[in-house]
Every structure is written in C-alpha cells, then in structure tokens.
Structure 1
C-alpha cells in the first residue's frame, strides 16, 4: 500500500470516528437552529471532518519509525518557488515535474479549507486567509520541531513557500465557494426553526439512528476509558470483558434516566419528537417506551440461547413498524399506547 493511499484511508477512518462521535449533537443542533436536518450540509460536514484529518495525515505521516533518519533544514526564502518553476520548465516536461506538482499540491490542499469556512461557517476571504496561514504555520512548526520534541530533529523541511501556497489555496477556496448559492451556504429554511413540522418516517428513522449511534458511542467510550485506567493502575495489558459490561450498563442507565424523566429517548430529543396521549398511566407508558427502544433491543440479546435471534427480530420489527403503524409511531408508540408528535407542537 502506497503512502498516499494509506494516508487517505487513515483520514477517512479518523473522519468517520469524529462523525459518529458528533452525530447526535450535530442532529440536535440542526433541528434547533434550522428546524430540520439538511442532508446536503450534513454531507459537507462529513467531508470537512475527513478533510481536517487529511491535512494532518498528508503533512505529518509517515512518521519515522526510529531516530535513524536524515535531519533536514529550513527554507526561509519566499522567492524559492521561482527557482522551482524555472527548474520545472528546464526539464522540458513541466507538468510532470515534482517541483511544480509539489507547489500545485500545496495550493490545492488548502482550497477546501477556504471553501468549507465560507459554505459551512459563513466566513469570508479574510478569515480564510488567516486560517490558512495559521494552520499552515502550526503544521510547519510541528515539522521543524520534530513533532514538538518527539524526534531529535526535523524530518520534514520548514518551508516558507509552503506557508504562502497554503494561504493562497485557502483564499482560492473562499472565492470558489461564492459559486455556491446563498440558500445552500446559509442553510436557510422557509419555515421558522421553532415551528412544528410533520412527523415523517425518515425523521423517526433518524431518531432511531441517533439512539443507536449515541448508545454505541457512550458504551464504547466508557469501555475504552475504564480499560485504559485499569490497565494503567494495575499494570496489566489484558483486562477481560468486564469493561464492556460497565460501558453497556452506563449507556443503559443514561438512556433509562432520560426516557423515564422526560418521556423522550436521546434520539427523540435530538429530532424533537415526543410520545403523547398515553392510554395507560404515564409512568407505565414511559417504561414501555423505554422497552420499545434501544434499551429493549440491547436487553433481549441477553435472553439465553435465543438472544441473538430475538435481537434481530426486534430490530426488524422496530424498522418495519415505522412504515406500518399510524403516524410513524413505530414499536415504542404501539406498546406504550401513545401517538407520536412534534415536540414543538402546543399541547391542548
């Protein structure tokens, strides 16, 4: 596997982790700021997350595996790129010259930065230029210091031309972003964010996805944290399966507390949905709503012998009933005898 492919895959993997970690907060913020989730902007944010990691992977990796590498110097001549261009022209094939390709790559690498700052952040060309210069300077300083002292000397050249080309790239990206319609750049909606909206199947599925992603993220984070702390304190490398149990129990406790206290799961809260008009006492309705969600799905897996089959059947039923049950209330609404509504709607 080439270094370029490895760096790309690493950036995608790290970007995916960031997206999963921030998925529920992003959905919740979108519904409160714009009244809905705009999938086009969501895809742009995913691309931005991958791009953010790509900057670091392409500028810092591969890291030397030992101190057995050649130390490099610095280039403080801002006009050195002229010599590179002349050298490229002298080869007779400037389009394939590494001198010119490196210069073009350094510009292109920061074009998305200016683009994302304008389209997603609403920032203009001045901020794009300052951000490009600042991030490029941070990268160059990381390189010249041997990753801030991790290595005894620099393994990549500190180049002032890189600062200039990266900044230029960010400026170009900001200008290119002007081609994107204002409506897309602002994510503006015709309906006010606090106005009730229809309860759609897609919205209910999004709530389920938020519950699943959020539950998994909490469980995994607690599991990893407990395992690392225990390993450090006990001086062992193998900790067994009990940290995973702690992680799952922690997520169950959080989801149970939120649902029993508010009647909404974390996913319901994120997309601003709620179950109302129970035909049983409210406390029972909330317990049943909890059982019909991600906590119930996790719980059936612990049934002896048939837990895996029950969990699969539970998941399929939960998805299918969104399309079959009235007002997309799904399994939680059916077993809790409640209907599903927008949380922003007024109660009679």
Structure 2
C-alpha cells in the first residue's frame, strides 16, 4: 500500500511539473484539453513510477542483503506452472504461479498505453515491454546500478518473457478503449476556433500561476546553488534574501517581457487565447494586462507591507471578475479594455488543417 502511495505522489508531482507544456501541446494537437486523455497521461506517469517502486523498493540494508545469481533458463516459467499444477490444493495460491500472474498483470497497462496514447500496435508493445523489463532486470542484476556490491534480487529470463507477454496482451485489450481516446494523430479540427469559456480562461490562469511558480522556484534554487558552490558565500545562503528577491523579480520581468513581445501570457499561449480590441495603444494595453494578471500580483507581493495585502485583495478581485465578465476576460481585460477571443479565429483562412501522425500529445 505504501509503495502505491509513493508511486501516486511522484506521478502526480511530475504531472504538475509537466502540466503547462501538456496543456499547450494538447491544444495544438487536438484543439482542446480532454479530461479523458489527461487522466490517461496522469495514469501513465503514476504507472511508470509504480514499476520502479514495486520492483526496487524498499531498498534493503546493505549489511543484510544476500547475493543471488541469475536465472537464464526460459523454461523455468513452464516448470513453475507444472509445479503449481502438481501441488495439492488450489494451484492459484501457489507462490510460483502467483508470481507469474503478477508479472503479466504488471505490464498489462504498458500495452494499453502503447495502443491508446502512442497509437502503436503489438510489435511496439512487445518491444516496449521487453525493453522496460530488461531495464528493470539489469538494474536488479547490477545491484541497483552499483549501489549495492552484488545483486540481491534474481535476474530472471522468465520475468522478461511474462512481462513482455503482459504488454502484448494489454495492447490487444486496449481495443475496448473508445476510438476517440486512442492514437496520437493530430485532430483534423485542431486549428478551428472554439468558444471562449470561463473554464478555459481559468485554465489559462492556472497555467500562468504554475509557470510563474516553477520559474520562481528554479531561480531561487539556482541562486542558492551559485552562492553555495561558486561564490562560496555561506552567509548569503543562510540569509536567503538575495534568492528571495531574484525569485520574484526574474519571473515578474519575464512575464512582462512575454506579454510585451507576444501580446499574450504563458497561460494564454497554452490554451490558444488572445486579447483584442482596445482604444489604448497596444504597448499600454499589454502593460495593463500584465498588471491585472500574475505579473501585477507578483509585483505587489515583492513590495511587501500593505502592498502584500493589496495583492491578496487583487487575487480575490481576479476570481470574482473571472465569473462576472464576458468570456471570463477578468481583470486583465477590464484594465486594458479588451475582450478575449480564440487565437485560432483566422484558421479558416488557412488552406488545409493539419492532419497526420506525430508524437503523442
């Protein structure tokens, strides 16, 4: 149970980190962010980490391990089944048979993901299952890449066979998944404009917040690492004021630059939205949009004191205006006097939509 929770926690964490690029790719390849495919990709992330948690964890005490060899006879699987069937009682409870079934079931999801998310068939599923299983077995054979002096878990060719069989079966079973969720093709209507909804605008705001947060965290960690390992200024590391200031100034400036140059925030770009129509000069309208979004919030927070309180009130106002303004244009739209439209409103002028097979979204 604990290993499952660990896999879920790591998978969700990686999902949050990858969420903004995932949203951007989804809108460009499929024209929207579908709940079904989003959950499938999150499941794939959790599954990937589950493979490692269930096969490698918990890591044993180096002083308590027992070195083991390798089982290279592929017929060991057949003998395990024969032994289980010849044993008195219920053969389904025999450890050898349970291990075999578990190996197959563990790689069933891999085959499903190969078919559903990558749009590939049995051959790719077979190669993926064999490759991932071999990677796991080699990790065990080398004592977790040299972390231990010897292998404490068996390298078993039989596991390679049963894992690969599981991936192939999973690929076959994936035909029950609705066709709309299968494959990696670019949707024929990906370039067509769609209605601007408050939910879509809220998604853009979430992407802005995540992008700002990760950029801020990255700058803060980078500054602290520079002070620690290059400048050798331990006092500045412990003080933390420089890292704190730059982790706010840099992302705030980057967001302002992005909006001034492209006219859209990171979130707007991700969900294919743009602001249009204003009596104000374009540069001024863009600065006002920045001030009404994550940039203004971060700038107020940076000033501290009463400005920090004002930033909290600004967040509340932004949420209220999201639900009370047309198309959820919110505070940026109100300040700039602009409205929200789909960035693909001119797609009809293009000769043909993009259709074809490409990498998974």
Supply the distance in 1 between the matched residues of 2:181 and 2:163 (Cα, whole angstroms): 26
**Which one of the candidate residues 209, 212, 217 is aligned to 1:215?**
212
Supply the distance in 2 between the matched residues of 1:64 and 1:114 (Cα, whole angstroms): 31
Any idea what SS the aligned residue of 1:274 has? strand
Instruction: Tell whether the 8 Å contact from 1:220 to 1:244 is kept in structure 2 after alignment.
Output: no
1:267 aligns with 2:267: yes
Instruction: Tell whether the 8 Å contact from 1:231 to 1:239 is kept in structure 2 after alignment.
Output: no
Any idea what SS the aligned residue of 1:344 has? coil
Distance 1:191 1:315, change over 3 A: farther
Supply the distance in 2 between the matched residues of 1:135 and 1:188 (Cα, whole angstroms): 25
Cα offset for 1:235?
8.8
**Aligned pairs for 1:293-308 within 5 A:** 293-307=293-307
**Which one of the candidate residues 15, 18, 24 is aligned to 1:22?**
18
Q: Tell me which residue corresponds to 1:160.
A: 157
> Structure 2 length as normaliser, TM-score?
0.88
Distance 1:262 1:87, change over 3 A: same
**Which one of the candidate residues 114, 127, 141 is aligned to 1:130?**
127
Aligned residues: 343
Q: Deviations over 1:301-334 (max 9, x none)?
A: 3454445543333222212212211232111100
Supply the distance in 2 between the matched residues of 1:72 and 1:334 (Cα, whole angstroms): 69
> Structure 1 length as normaliser, TM-score?
0.91
In structure 1, runs of 5+ residues without a counterpart are: none
Q: Give the number of the structure with larger relative contact order, counting CA–CA contacts within 8 Å between residues 6 or more apart.
A: 2
Supply the distance in 2 between the matched residues of 1:190 and 1:145 (Cα, whole angstroms): 44
Cα offset for 1:61?
1.5
1:277 aligns with 2:273: no
1:151 aligns with 2:178: no
Deviates more, 1:57-66 or 1:19-28: 57-66
**Aligned pairs for 1:235-254 within 5 A:** 239-241=238-240, 242-254=242-254
Q: Deviations over 1:124-152 (max 9, x none)?
A: 01000000001100111111011222221
Name the Cα RMSD after superposition.
2.3
Q: Tell me which residue corresponds to 2:354.
A: none
Supply the distance in 1 between the matched residues of 2:89 and 2:307 (Cα, whole angstroms): 69
Q: Deviations over 1:20-43 (max 9, x none)?
A: 221111111111111111121011
Instruction: Tell whether the 8 Å contact from 1:34 to 1:187 is kept in structure 2 after alignment.
Output: no
Supply the distance in 2 between the matched residues of 1:145 and 1:271 (Cα, whole angstroms): 45
Any idea what SS the aligned residue of 2:152 has? coil
Supply the distance in 1 between the matched residues of 2:8 and 2:334 (Cα, whole angstroms): 40
Instruction: Tell whether the 8 Å contact from 2:31 to 2:187 is kept in structure 1 after alignment.
Output: no
**Aligned pairs for 1:59-98 within 5 A:** 59-89=55-85, 90=87, 92-98=89-95
Deviates more, 1:54-63 or 1:308-317: 308-317
Supply the distance in 2 between the matched residues of 1:225 and 1:62 (Cα, whole angstroms): 32
Instruction: Tell whether the 8 Å contact from 1:301 to 1:307 is kept in structure 2 after alignment.
Output: yes
Any idea what SS the aligned residue of 1:203 has? helix
Distance 1:108 1:255, change over 3 A: same
Any idea what SS the aligned residue of 1:341 has? strand
Supply the distance in 1 between the matched residues of 2:136 and 2:304 (Cα, whole angstroms): 54
Supply the distance in 1 between the matched residues of 2:227 and 2:107 (Cα, whole angstroms): 41
Q: Deviations over 1:269-309 (max 9, x none)?
A: 11111111122121111111001111222233345444554
1:199 aligns with 2:167: no
In structure 2, runs of 5+ residues without a counterpart are: 348-361
Distance 1:86 1:239, change over 3 A: farther
Supply the distance in 1 between the matched residues of 2:177 and 2:60 (Cα, whole angstroms): 41
